[in-house]
């Protein structure tokens, strides 16, 4: 198999089905992996469900990220491994764009749910969908995840899957009671570079990993202040009302894989601090934006220590012109 094809299959499988490239490349191991197992005590640890030959998908949210996710289904659709059954969004232009795109790669025309803000629930209730993909504004993710699992659907949700610890536990409890997969699609865990590095770590290329650094540094000022880029400018409102690392898993997700967090080690304690906020306010004033006051500091730095004594440095900055990291 060509390396390009292997990486394409590996990334798609890992993202949507939770299968590691090593397992995927070993047919007997793959069959064993896919056998359904259920823990009587309610835990979803190592939960496996019946394998689905062709996954029927419903997608909620067709904005910037949702449109990209549809394109990521190219390989799966063309190889008869998945089919987009239904779409939901409130923006007619986004719907038309994605329906036209799907015409090129699949025969079936997706059903559309766009009448009102709750139309997505009708999509979720369909009995011909196996997996719900959620790519909507952050504060809708928890409700949509829970509703989908309660309606007998597996879920793959964009980052962040929740914005509070309480909501995280709600998702865990519903996943355990329904025995449905609910995965946060942290793409930075499954990009080529991260998977190559994980493979090297698994093969002891670097020896024992005692310290790691990760970050999400991305100048988003133009997008945050744009009237059209985010629907109703939903994202900048989080920067008005919240402070801290609003997007931790871009940097932390891969590090957790490298350090076996949740697989033998866990976070023990942390300290987190944000700098003053200045850069986003200056950008807002330069264009006379209606948004002129923000709680989120320009740079957040978090130091974490694990139970086994390893350390992690995590940073977050979407306000300044620092190079993308």
Please, what's the b/e burial string for 139-153 (b: 16 or more CB within 10 A of its CB; e: otherwise)? Answer: ebbbebbbbbbebeb
What is the C-alpha separation between 267 and 248, in angstroms, rounded?
14
Residues across the chain: 325
The domain locations on the chain are 36-185, 189-317
pTM: 0.86
Contact 303, 271 (CB under 8 A): yes
Question: Which class does domain 189-317 fall in?
Answer: alpha beta
Contact 321, 218 (CB under 8 A): no
What is the model's pLDDT at position 45?
A: 77
Task: With cut-offs at 50, 70 and 90, classify the pLDDT of residue 2.
Answer: very low
Contact 159, 184 (CB under 8 A): yes
Contact 316, 246 (CB under 8 A): yes
**Is residue 127 predicted with pLDDT exceeding 90?**
yes
What is the C-alpha separation between 144 and 230, in angstroms, rounded?
19
Contact 135, 62 (CB under 8 A): yes
**Is residue 46 predicted with pLDDT exceeding 90?**
no
What is the C-alpha separation between 324 and 302, in angstroms, rounded?
18
Contact 82, 76 (CB under 8 A): yes
Backbone angles phi, psi at 19, to 5 degrees: -105, 130
**Is residue 318 predicted with pLDDT exceeding 70?**
yes
Range 47-59 average pLDDT = 94
Residue pLDDT, tens place only, 75-122: 999 999 999 999 999 999 999 999 999 999 999 999 999 999 999 999
The angle at the Cα of 176, spanning 50 to 69, to the nearest 5 degrees, equals 65
The CATH number of 36-185, from 3.40.50.2300, 3.50.50.60, 3.40.50.720, 3.90.79.10, is 3.40.50.720
Q: Percent of the chain beyond pLDDT 90?
A: 84
**Is residue 23 predicted with pLDDT exceeding 70?**
no
């Amino acid at each position: 198999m060509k390396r390009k094809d292997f990486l394409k299959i590996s990334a798609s499988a890992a993202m949507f089905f939770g299968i590691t490239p090593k397992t995927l490349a070993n047919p007997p191991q793959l069959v064993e992996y896919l056998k359904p197992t259920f823990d009587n005590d309610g835990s979803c640890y190592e939960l496996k469900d019946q394998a689905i030959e062709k996954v029927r998908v419903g997608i909620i949210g067709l904005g910037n990220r949702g449109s990209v996710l549809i394109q990521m289904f190219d390989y799966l659709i063309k190889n008869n491994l998945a089919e987009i059954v239904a779409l939901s969004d409130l923006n007619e232009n986004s719907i038309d764009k994605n329906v036209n795109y799907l015409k090129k790669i699949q025969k079936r025309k997706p059903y559309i749910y766009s009448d009102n803000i709750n139309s997505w629930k009708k999509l979720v209730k369909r009995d011909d969908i196996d997996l719900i993909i959620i790519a909507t504004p952050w504060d809708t993710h928890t409700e949509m995840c829970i509703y989908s699992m309660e309606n007998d659907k597996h879920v793959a949700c964009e980052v962040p899957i929740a914005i509070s610890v309480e909501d995280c536990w709600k998702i865990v409890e519903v996943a355990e009671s329904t025995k449905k997969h609910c995965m946060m699609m942290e793409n930075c865990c499954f990009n080529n570079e991260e998977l190559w590095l994980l493979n090297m770590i698994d093969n002891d290329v670097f020896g024992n990993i005692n310290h790691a650094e990760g970050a999400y540094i991305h100048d988003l000022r133009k997008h945050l202040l744009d009237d059209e880029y985010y629907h109703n400018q939903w994202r900048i409102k989080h920067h008005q009302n919240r402070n801290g690392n609003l997007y931790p898993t871009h940097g932390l997700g891969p590090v957790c894989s490298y350090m076996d967090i949740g697989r033998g080690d866990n976070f023990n304690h942390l300290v987190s601090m944000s700098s003053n906020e200045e850069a986003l306010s200056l950008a807002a004033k330069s264009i006379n934006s209606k948004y002129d006051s923000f709680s989120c500091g320009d740079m957040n730095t978090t130091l974490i220590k694990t139970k086994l004594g390893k350390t992690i440095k995590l940073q977050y900055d979407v306000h300044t012109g620092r190079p993308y990291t």
